[in-house]
Amino acid sequence: MKLIFLGTGAGRPTLRRNVTSIALLLPQAGGRFWLFDAGEGTQHQLQRAKLKLSRLDRIFITHLHGDHLYGLPGLISSRTFHEGSGKLRLYGPPGLRGFVECALTQSELHLDYELEIHEIEPGPIALDDERFAVEAGELQHRVRVFGYRVTEAPRPGSLNSAWLAENGVEPGPLYGKLKRGEDVELPDGRKVLASEAVGPGAEGRIVTILGDTRPCEEAVRLAKNADLLVHEATFGAGMEEKAASYGHSTVLQAAETASRARARRLAVTHFSARYDDEAIDRLAADGRAIFPDILAAADFLELEIPPRPGGEGRRKAPKS
């Protein structure tokens, strides 16, 4: 699982930072990925990151401000020219359908693929994907805004194949049953318990991506125990009053949210154009006093989210 930042600036694109968009590359999916927000120019950033529009199958919009949305019509349009593009599913606040349908109608665009638009409310989102669950939570901004918590399904434990071979369990259908958690009986009558032959599973990874927001309890809840929290940090320390008036956060407030949520890692993004790269690095350094594992995102930064550790199979003899 990998996150690629396609835009890390706030409000308007600059030569250094495009406006908000983040790609989540899914594990073992043949290059399939999801997109979170689609600010102006996102399809150009996707090309630079060598991500194929035909492999994009879900887009999650946090809110309907232009720096998170204006790249969506062009992206949808371009995707129809990519061979192999299947169904595309869009999720976002009420009003998303009207925005997209107006753009398609007025430009007389005809898509060669199926487009599903889901206007959501807080709570779990139906995905038809057993490997992931996504929950939306409502944050605090000047318009309705959502944060998304992506949870990977638990990973099954590993078969202790060496131990199984030593005890006369040959590779084949019995391995599959044990892997699925089923106990098996050998031809000689011995029983092998799945709990003995398969190590404990591992919890799935959690990635939380928040839209623009003031500090709020819902942000903490969505980020609880996340492997990676992506939080806006439009302003630096000392600008809390200005941040609150615009519905944004400072880097120190983002660090406080990560600390309270006991997240493992924090990436801050959505920086005001007033800050150059050196200033942004200093902002992140300030945040380490509150949350040590913080980094400032930059366009095309790639972050791997490693699997959570699991265990090995136990070494007990099969029961006779």
Binding residues: 63, 65, 67-68, 141, 212, 270
pLDDT, residue 320, reads: 55
pLDDT, residue 313, reads: 45
Assigned token pair, 20: 């908000």
Position 34 confidence tier, pLDDT thresholds 50, 70, 90? very high
Better pLDDT: 157 or 243:
243
pLDDT, residue 198, reads: 79
pLDDT, residue 168, reads: 78
- Active-site residue identified among 37, 57, 67, 183: 67
Average pLDDT over residues 301-311: 87
pTM for the structure as a whole:
0.88
Task: Residue count of the chain, please give it.
Answer: 320
Specify the range with the lowest mean pLDDT, choosing from 88-92, 154-158, 267-271.
154-158
CA pair distance 221, 280, nearest whole angstrom = 26
Which run of H or of E encompasses 280?
helix 277-287
pLDDT, residue 178, reads: 80
Q: Are 216 and 137 in contact (CB under 8 A)?
A: no
pLDDT, residue 260, reads: 98
- Please, which residues have CB within 8 angstroms of residue 81's CB and are 6 or more apart in sequence? none
What confidence tens digit (pLDDT) does each residue in 94-142 have?
Answer: 999 999 999 999 999 999 999 999 999 999 999 988 899 999 999 999 9
Hey, is 128 helix, strand or coil? coil
- Please, which residues have CB within 8 angstroms of residue 165's CB and are 6 or more apart in sequence? 171
- Please, which residues have CB within 8 angstroms of residue 261's CB and are 6 or more apart in sequence? 208, 219, 220, 221, 222, 223, 224, 225, 226, 229
What confidence tens digit (pLDDT) does each residue in 60-96 have?
Answer: 999 999 999 999 999 999 999 998 899 999 999 999 9
pLDDT at 312 over 60: no
Average pLDDT over residues 292-314: 86
Span(s) in the chain for CATH 3.60.15.10: 2-155+202-304
If phi > 0 it is left, if psi is from -120 to 50 it is alpha, else beta; for residue 201 that is: beta
Q: Is 67 one of the annotated active-site residues of the chain? A: yes
Assigned token pair, 246: 């615009």
Better pLDDT: 43 or 203:
43
CA angle 303, 138, 22 (to 5 degrees): 25
Q: Tell me which fold the domain 2-155+202-304 belongs to.
A: Metallo-beta-lactamase; Chain A (3.60.15)
Q: Are 209 and 230 in contact (CB under 8 A)?
A: yes
pLDDT at 156 over 90: no
pLDDT at 14 over 90: yes
Percent over 90 (pLDDT), the chain = 76
Binding residues for Zn(2+): 63, 65, 67-68, 141, 212, 270
Average pLDDT over residues 238-250: 95
pLDDT, residue 314, reads: 46
